[in-house]
Amino acid sequence: MKSTKPIVMKFGGASVRDATAVGNAAGIVGLYRDRKLVVVFSAMGKTTNELETLAALAKDQKERDAGKQLLKIRNTHEEIVAAIFPKGNQRVIKKLRKYFDEIEQIIQGILLLGEFPPRTYDRIVAFGELISSSIMFEALKATGLDCEWIDVRDIIKTDSSHQDARVIWSLTTENTEQKIVPLLKSKKIVVTQGFIASGIDGKVTTLGREGSDYTAAIFASILDAESLIVWKDVPGILNGDPRILQNRVLLDEISYEHAVEMTFYGATVIHPKTIKPLYQKNIPLFVMPFSNPKAAGTKIANAASGLKSHEGITSTIIKNNQVVIRILPKDISFMEAELVSGIYAHIVRAGIRVNLVQTSAISFILCADNNVSRIQEFISLLLDQFEVEVRPDLELVTFIDFSLVNLRTAANAVMVQQSENKLFVVRNPGGKDSTGSIGEVGV
């Protein structure tokens, strides 16, 4: 018997990057036309990056270059629309004209003030998803699908933490039940945007870079979906980044726990926040290749459901732009609980993302994402009480289910740590000699 639960889908930027990809995405959605369906779209291709560049040019008072950049973005989307609708589509043309007029107004404001604060960042990058979903909505309708376009900013409500907002689940659930559920009951396909949301005050917020996966997971959780399907430009989840590792293997089934570890330590196939809402409702996540919708892809589910074992296969994740910080008390005090708790308080205050920690009798060593302004604030908080040594421009290599062969990469590393089935190696990018190690192997 066919399930009556909805399916939530998310299409990444690569899967809607041009007219051919748009047609392919529409064909995939059509395969599920007899199901309750919510479809979440990312911005097309690298549009978010292009909008970031546009805003940066305006902030730097490069008005002429900003104008060229805006025209480039506009032309790209208009060319896609022209290729999809050779006879024209006035609804989407009018909508795009409105969006680009609004973008231009924001850019004029940045040029005038010379500022590009987080709230303005959220306003401008949101147009990538709004434009993409508007084009996809018309493309789906052109294939005969019964769709409804929904502005996700009216559904997902967050706090006012721009660029990485926290979802207010109670309001988001209420909005979903009032505005999405009736459409699904009437058998309409809901088309919406990923990544963006709005605060209680109505101002645009975003859920963190590459946050469209998380948007889809939010809807899947609230709707108690049968599954979430994420369409990507990869065969599924591999045991290593294909751009870095040649001999990679498709992991056709992995647990929620394995997926969380991979995303935390730098795997970019799935947004780090995606898994938790699905885990709480026991909703499987499928990572599927948009170029071959009938392929198996990767299933992420509860380990208790009897997933296939990948014994002997090591997953390798490389996270760039890391910094190692060694902290030593100026009076050579022991690194006891009081000192350590003070360091952790500074970590929280500065808002740095810590990936590894090691302690010894008189030192505290951490590896963190090198967000320069936050790292500088963290160091400034330490200087009254501690000596601080810093090593930037490093990479963190994480081996899950590692073998003895992987231990060779620890030679000359800056920092090494072993924990259960994981080996962590902090080194110079590409594994070049990292003389002057800071940490030793610790279990």
Write the DSSP assignment of 130-156 as a string of letters: HHHHHHHHHHHHHTT--EEE--GGGT-
- Residues 197, 67 share a domain: yes
| Domain C-terminal end among 189, 218, 233 | 233
Strand order through the sheet with 364-369: 354-359, 364-369, 315-329, 386-400, 422-427, 415-419
Asked if residue 336 lies in contact with residue 297, where contact means CB atoms within 8 angstroms, the answer is no
443 pLDDT band (50/70/90 cuts)?
A: very low
The count of structural domains within the chain is 2
- Residues 361, 225 share a domain: no
| Domain C-terminal end among 198, 213, 233 | 233
Do the domain assignments include residue 28?
yes
- Residues 210, 320 share a domain: no
How do residues 110-128 score in pLDDT, each as one tens digit? 999 888 899 999 999 999 9
Classify burial at 319, counting beta carbons within 10 Å of its beta carbon; exposed 0-12, middle 13-18, buried 19 or more.
Answer: buried
Supply the pLDDT for residue 442: 29
Supply the pLDDT for residue 316: 83
How do residues 327-364 score in pLDDT, each as one tens digit? 999 888 888 888 899 999 999 999 999 999 998 888 99
* Across 363-390, average pLDDT: 93
Do the domain assignments include residue 272?
no
Structure tokens at 291: 């170029």
Q: How far is CA 400 from CA 6, 270, 375, 429, in A?
A: 34, 17, 28, 19
Q: CA 339, CA 364: separation in Å to the nearest integer?
A: 9
Do the domain assignments include residue 286?
no
Asked if residue 411 lies in contact with residue 418, where contact means CB atoms within 8 angstroms, the answer is no
- Residues 226, 91 share a domain: yes
Do the domain assignments include residue 292?
no
- Residues 90, 188 share a domain: yes
Do the domain assignments include residue 174?
yes
- Residues 211, 67 share a domain: yes
Do the domain assignments include residue 307?
no
Do the domain assignments include residue 243?
no
How do residues 245-275 score in pLDDT, each as one tens digit? 666 788 888 888 888 888 777 777 787 789 9
- Residues 155, 31 share a domain: yes
E strand or H helix that includes residue 51? helix 47-59
The CATH number of the domain holding residue 196 is 3.40.1160.10
- Residues 323, 174 share a domain: no
Supply the pLDDT for residue 248: 75
| Domain C-terminal end among 233, 268, 290 | 233
Identity (one letter) of the amino acid at 149?
A: W
* Across 130-158, average pLDDT: 97
From 207, 249, 231, select the one nearest 122 (Cα to Cα): 207
- Residues 319, 228 share a domain: no
405 pLDDT band (50/70/90 cuts)?
A: low
- Residues 176, 64 share a domain: yes
CB atoms within 10 A of CB 309: 8
Do the domain assignments include residue 130?
yes
Percent over 90 (pLDDT), the chain: 65
E strand or H helix that includes residue 287? strand 285-289
How do residues 218-247 score in pLDDT, each as one tens digit? 999 999 999 999 998 888 888 776 666 666
Overall pTM > 0.95: no
Q: Which of 268-277, 299-308, 432-441 has the highest mean predicted lDDT (pLDDT)? A: 268-277
- Residues 179, 56 share a domain: yes
286 bridge partner residues: 229, 299
- Residues 337, 206 share a domain: no
305 bridge partner residues: none
Residues spanned by the domain of 359: 315-431
